[in-house]
Amino acid sequence: MANMAVAVGGTEAPPPRRAGRNWVPYALLVPGLLFLAFFYAAPMVTLGSQSLQEGNVYDGYILTGNVGIYPETLSEYWPHLFRSLGYAASATFFGLILAYPLAYYMAQKAGRWKNIMLILVIAPFFTSFLIRTLAWRIILSDGGVVSDVVQASGFDHVLNFMGLTQGDTLLNSKFAVIAGLTYNFLPFMILPLFAALDRLDPRLMEAARDLYASGWQTFRRVIWPLSLPGVVAGTLLTFIPAAGDYINSRLLGNTQTVMIGQVIDSLFLRVLDFPKAAALSFILLVMIVALVGFYVRKAGTEELV
């Protein structure tokens, strides 16, 4: 009877667990942790150390703990910082407006065309980011189809009134930079939205219609709340890289649309002021992390952070 373990109710009790801890899950974490330590933690420590150094590229740099470089850098480049955040927020907003209807149609209405449309969304990733941005120089150039349509419709006056363009040209303007950012990061908005909307149970929408909910009420009370994780993920995947982008502002903008990524690139590779460039990178990082944390908590999806 010692070998017969019987639980209350006559059922056999589960076999006793073996002593010791299962190290397999921890072992599986090792490659990822090493990757993060080597390619994220170590560069961040190096960058932080570099921001606190003094000297020049010819005589070398010495770690002096010069924390005063942070307020100095912020006071000098705060217009570029807030301009970058504004452009990124605009691109995120327009990306959401464009992506949500497309993602909903793909997920709920496309049927057998769903996979084909998904491939078309992913297709731009097979082309260089730089080439896609250069293509927008041709699309928005004077005398092009887009420029002619905008001028014929009178929309150029609206863009001028909003301060997005200067004169009749669309290229080298705020409008061009925001349009380029929106286009280049649009797939990052579409894919999370598609994933969230594709999981919606059609019976929930049928139930809303059975309860005499209008189309708007169904969207506001059923579809939008259930797709909110995709909205949050898509906006973050768009806003974060757009805020640090410098290709669009360099190729599509002018001297009045310089973004913070372009400034950091110039400080590192042209001015060779490494401490100021590192400090500016850290300031941008802190601002984005603070904004993202505030946004996620306000959106009510804290589990995503």
Give residue-wise pLDDT tens across range 156-191.
788 887 888 877 788 899 999 999 999 999 999 999
Architecture of domain 78-304: Orthogonal Bundle (1.10)
Give percent of the chain with pLDDT exceeding 70: 91
User: What residues does each domain of the chain span?
Assistant: 78-304
Res 298: pLDDT: 81
- Tens of pLDDT, residue by residue over 66-116, are 999 999 999 999 999 999 999 999 999 999 999 999 999 999 888 889 999
Instruction: Judge whether residue 11 has pLDDT over 70.
Output: no
3-class SS of residue 63: strand
Residue 166 pairs in a beta bridge with 169
At residue 152 the predicted structure's pLDDT band, cuts being 50, 70 and 90, is confident
- Tens of pLDDT, residue by residue over 252-293, are 999 899 999 999 999 999 999 999 999 999 999 999 999 988
Residue with tokens 């992913």: 122
pLDDT (mean) for 117-143: 91
pTM of this structure:
0.85
